[in-house]
Structure 1
Amino acid sequence: MSAVEEQGRAFMPVSRIIADGYGGDFGPGSQCRVTRVTLQGGLDIVRWQSTFEQPVEMPLHDDSERIHFSFTNLLKGKASCSFRDGRRQRRYVIDQGTGSISYGRSRNGLYHQQGEIDNITVMIHPELLTQWELEIDPTLYNALACDHCFLDGHRSGEMSATAHQLSNALTYAPGQPRSSLWLYGQSVTLVSLFLEARRSVDCACRLSPIDRQRLQHARERLLADLGKAPSLSELARESGLSQPKLTRGFRQLFLNSVYGVFQQARMTQARSRLLEGDESVMRVASDLGYANASHFATAFRKQFGINPSLLKQGGRSTSLAPSKLS
């Protein structure tokens, strides 16, 4: 398929990027693989795994005609995407352990990455989403009606666990293939968790720019040491917010409680370290503030649906490992 030309720049069609087995050549020190499973007309699961030692910018043209419910399981480095909003280019930072809802019929944009990323996306046609009869909040409904949106910051432990299970199912595991019915059920679950997360909070558009900045600062301070969370009073004082405004703002902007954001980041780091295979479960638990290994295992299982010891034994860095679906 030929690229779409705009203002002298060649935009690559998304349909080409998400082709199963795609592994574009991005130069030395780069690896990229896409695993795609079509479950029915208008519904696909796509896993994107890539490592770019040098910064990469990809001009993309969205010809997919799909709403993308996307969750980033792993990010070691930086990633972002940008779209033209009127006269300016608006940039969205991609974070590990968070999800976004994106829809851009025939929209052009830029994808930026340096480092490693592992992302799972459920792509669904708007008509099929309507047939599922899920409750869609007004903000998302209006954005979809305009044929373009990018809503980020979706987080929850259940969402993370479901996204990891889908990603693992798209990685070859001898003797343990997942059926199309199971994949369909998990895809519906992931989409519904995105919509549930949106219903559970007030609209973030009510936050002033200064409050957004203060909340971002509070989140950075919160995650500076994953072995020990600061107290709410300390976090509120340092960020210049009252405790009620801090806790309410976290739910509005980050779709989670203050401790929920901390806990999810802590478990995500634990998973990354265990997949590297060089540290014991107890060492990782201790570094992240757990004196009791069983308490750590319970929290980890709640987040990802698997015991940390089993992940360490069977998952030693599945990143960019050979992939197959039976």
Structure 2
Amino acid sequence: MPQPPGGPIAYRTLHESPVVAVRDYTCRAAAGGPREEEVSTGNAVVLMRHGAFSRHFGRRRVTADVNEAAFFPKGATYRVSHEAGHGDRGTVFEVAPHALAAFLRELDPASADLPEPGIPFPAGPCENAVFWRHRELVLRLEGATAARPALLEPLEADALALQLVADVLEAAYERHGSARGRRRPATEEGHAERVEAARAFLTSRMTERLTLNEVAEAAAVSPFHLARLFRRWTGVPIHRYLTRLRLRASLELLAEPGTDLASIAADLGFASHSHFADAFRREFGCAPSEFRRRASGRALREASRIPEA
């Protein structure tokens, strides 16, 4: 997590897991600076939501605003200034060192021999689609409460956060002319095996509230790598794949007369009836109760066609 960018600052944790932490920060520093030198204690990515600040690396100045992703490489020293006194606010993404290192080695094979590769750039582009997904993620995380924590499951929060970090890091490497090497057939085969291991784990444990770290351990791959591999091979994010497993299994249960909707939701791993209903409606375009009525009506019609012995 980067040091406070000079001045009064408050952090608030929105999500935290063994893989990634997502924190909201608000800084109310007055205009001025550069201030005293600071040191980044770990690799972090900051996506701004309001205002701006500048970091000074010697004579070089790099401004962080809503159009750029700010990277805080571990061990980097800098000083902070604010051109305006309006304050700034953003989202800090802290990725577990082992997960980030695996992804950075994929982006830059030359860093494979480094024990702990760091982010080599202070900033990178934040495309409009990435910015929009970032804002949506923050809204969903802020909407989670003790009364309704199911707005975002841990696995989905991990996957969405890591995808944002991956997107801005890839864009930064492309800006600086760095390209990953071509994958070898043996590598492709290994990737496929990892994805299949993850799929097998998901199908066997789909009724549990899984974390991305648990699935990654079962597939013997880093969480960062798994989230990207899974989407590339299956065409859908890992959290959506898990949700679809549950939802499609629910159709058979809903067609059975007398089954309780809340029980179906709980048995399939949904945190609540409303969580199940919302996911069902997004996936199939109707409520579970509506599908049940149609399935029940069809069953009655079929039964009426069966001739008596």
Q: Structure 2-normalised TM-score? A: 0.45
- Greater share of residues in strand: 1
Q: Structure 1-normalised TM-score? A: 0.43
Tell which structure's C-alpha radius of gyration is larger. 2
- Greater share of residues in helix: 2
